[in-house]
Amino acid sequence: MADYSQTASTGQSSAESDCCNLCIPSYLPGFIYDGKTTEHTSESERKVYWFEGKLKMPEEELVCPKCGFRMHRNQKSNVHLRHIPIGGAFTDLCVEHYQLRCPRCHETKSQNIQFKAPGHRITNDLYNHTRDLLAWGLNNKTVANLTGLGQNTVKEIDKKRLQELYTIDGKKLRKPERQARFLGIDEFLLHHGHRYATHITDLETGHVLWIQPGKKKQVVYDFIDFVGLDWMKGVQAVSCDMNSDFQKAFEEKCPHLEIVFDYFHVVKNFNDKAISEIRKDEQKRLLAEGKVKAANMLKGSKFILTSSLEELRRKDQEAAEGKVFRKKGTIFKIEEVMCKGGWEERYKALIKENKLLFTADLIKEKLKYAYDERIQAEEMAKELKEIMNICEASKDKHLLWFSKLIKEHFNGMVARAKFRISNGMMEGINNKIKTLRRQGYGYPDDEYFFLKIIDASRKDYIRNERSHRKCD
């Protein structure tokens, strides 16, 4: 059984067993161990060691803070403080302390426990240890299991830590430390029931600068008020999806900014609103004309029509190399499934048989070329105009819609060739947000959740050399 003792000179605690002495680096000023230790079992079947002791009574603590008269010991009581776990077991301090009373003015106070963390029944050592575990990236549940604290307590400690890092007095978010040149804005699902929040990020650092519930103009207005117009003058461009509210809000407040629409959102609109709808309409038309075979060819072809030719060739290569799509399992009698080929062949057959799909494929290739990193703004503008002409010549309502989309967002699409920025980083942050929510089993406290997102965006991603190839 360990013996918790304290030296008067250094205030260092030590543990003593029958065979050796073990020094425990724990600073407990004023704690006097009385030699009594009891062993208990927690609700989680973990060992808990209780170390009993009392506090020293310095003469200066007996001075009444109100009148300066000497106070008397009125009554004593015990307080239990959770301490740093040792060897997989939890440790508690059972501290005997006095209530002091002034005989002159009747002022009362409790004896001060210097090593107690404010607001919690834990020691300062455990408080700092918990903060370190949270700063290393462990989730609240894991930290609670390691320290023996409740998850609410861990959450309060973590929230306090994040407030100290990113807020002023826990009430106002700190302003950006550097001048950003390029910003990204995107919304993410906050709660079920179509409740969203929006985050604004410095695209050069990946740091989230602002988060607010909603996805309307007011989010942008509040962000500009937060950083100030002088700071916004240093911003050159903002990358966003085709949310008109974001675009209009930035243009209203900061007309010097250029709005950039990246390749991902343009192609996503084209795939979802044009190609997919054309495929459905063509399938209905072929069935109505009695061309069942041609209609059946369009079944399950969405992936083929919306994928790039390079992606289809990659899947064909995997099939040629005999790559396994699903491994065999003996426990549940799972059969082995190999990768299938013929993707490129089917793709060519589809666009050969259908004029509209051929046109859509041509547009898709021209979009890819327009957003090539080597293309300059003038050439990109020329390519986009050609795409609009092709859409209008087809007379198809879905392609006409896409032509209108390009026309309305023409300047923002061409701006991509000027600044070479995209919302790719924003989508990565959205994935981080999903992972963070899943690891935390949900966050009913939105303020705490937003602080966690800001903190996660500032953590460097360290590649595991064992599982990742080194880049040249």
Q: pLDDT tens digits, residue range 275-286?
A: 999 999 999 999
Mean per-residue pLDDT of the chain: 88
Confidence of residue 20 (pLDDT cuts 50, 70, 90): very low
Q: How far apart are CA 265 and CA 325, in angstroms?
A: 29
Residues 65 and 130 in one domain: no
Domain of 162, CATH number, reads 1.10.10
Q: How far apart are CA 52 and CA 32, in angstroms?
A: 9
pLDDT exceeds cutoff 80 at 469: no
Choosing from 158, 174, 190, the residue where a domain stops is 174
Residues 196 and 239 in one domain: yes
pLDDT exceeds cutoff 60 at 9: no
For residues 226-232, average pLDDT: 96
Residues 208 and 164 in one domain: no
308, HSE (Cβ side, Cα atoms, 13 Å): 11
% of the chain residues with pLDDT over 70: 92
Domain of 197, CATH number, reads 3.30.420.10
Q: Establish if 464 belongs to a structural domain.
A: no
Q: Establish if 112 belongs to a structural domain.
A: yes
Residues 281 and 400 in one domain: yes
Q: Establish if 467 belongs to a structural domain.
A: no
Domain range enclosing 394: 265-412
H/E stretch holding 347: helix 343-353
Residues 304 and 241 in one domain: no
- Which of 464, 449, 466, 423 lies closest to 187 in space, CA to CA? 423
Choosing from 116, 131, 165, the residue where a domain stops is 116
Confidence of residue 16 (pLDDT cuts 50, 70, 90): very low
Choosing from 116, 143, 163, the residue where a domain stops is 116
Residue at token pair 């002023």: 168
Residues 137 and 185 in one domain: no
User: What is the pLDDT at residue 464?
Assistant: 47
Residues 40 and 93 in one domain: yes
Q: Establish if 462 belongs to a structural domain.
A: no
Residues 317 and 271 in one domain: yes
Q: Establish if 470 belongs to a structural domain.
A: no
- Which of 445, 408, 433, 440 lies closest to 198 in space, CA to CA? 433
- Gyration radius (Cα) of the chain, Å: 33
Residues 152 and 191 in one domain: no
Q: Establish if 134 belongs to a structural domain.
A: yes
Q: How far apart are CA 276 and CA 265, in angstroms?
A: 15
Q: How far is CA 35 from CA 5, 52, 116, 382, in A?
A: 7, 7, 21, 86
Confidence of residue 22 (pLDDT cuts 50, 70, 90): very low
Domain total in the chain: 4
Q: Establish if 359 belongs to a structural domain.
A: yes
**Which one-letter DSSP state was computed for residue 465?**
T
Q: pLDDT tens digits, residue range 417-436?
A: 999 998 889 988 999 999 98
Of residues 397 and 89, the one with the higher pLDDT is 397
The structure tokens listed for 211 are: 């988060």
pTM of the model: 0.83
Q: Looking at 41-50, 386-395, 418-427, which range is the least confident one?
A: 41-50
Residues 45 and 158 in one domain: no
Q: How far apart are CA 14 and CA 12, in angstroms?
A: 7
Which alpha helices (DSSP H) does 173-306 contain, by range? Answer: 217-227, 229-232, 244-253, 263-270, 276-288, 292-297, 302-306
Residues 308 and 386 in one domain: yes
For residues 176-189, average pLDDT: 94
For residues 123-130, average pLDDT: 94
Q: How far apart are CA 79 and CA 122, in angstroms?
A: 10
For residues 332-358, average pLDDT: 92
What does the DSSP assignment read for 49-65?
Answer: EEEEEEE---GGGGB-T
Residues 310 and 243 in one domain: no
User: What is the pLDDT at residue 461?
Assistant: 53
Residue at token pair 């408080």: 127
Q: How far apart are CA 172 and CA 292, in angstroms?
A: 64
User: What is the pLDDT at residue 442?
Assistant: 81
Question: What is the sign of the dihedral through the CA atoms of 439, 445, 450 and 456?
Answer: negative
Q: Establish if 433 belongs to a structural domain.
A: yes
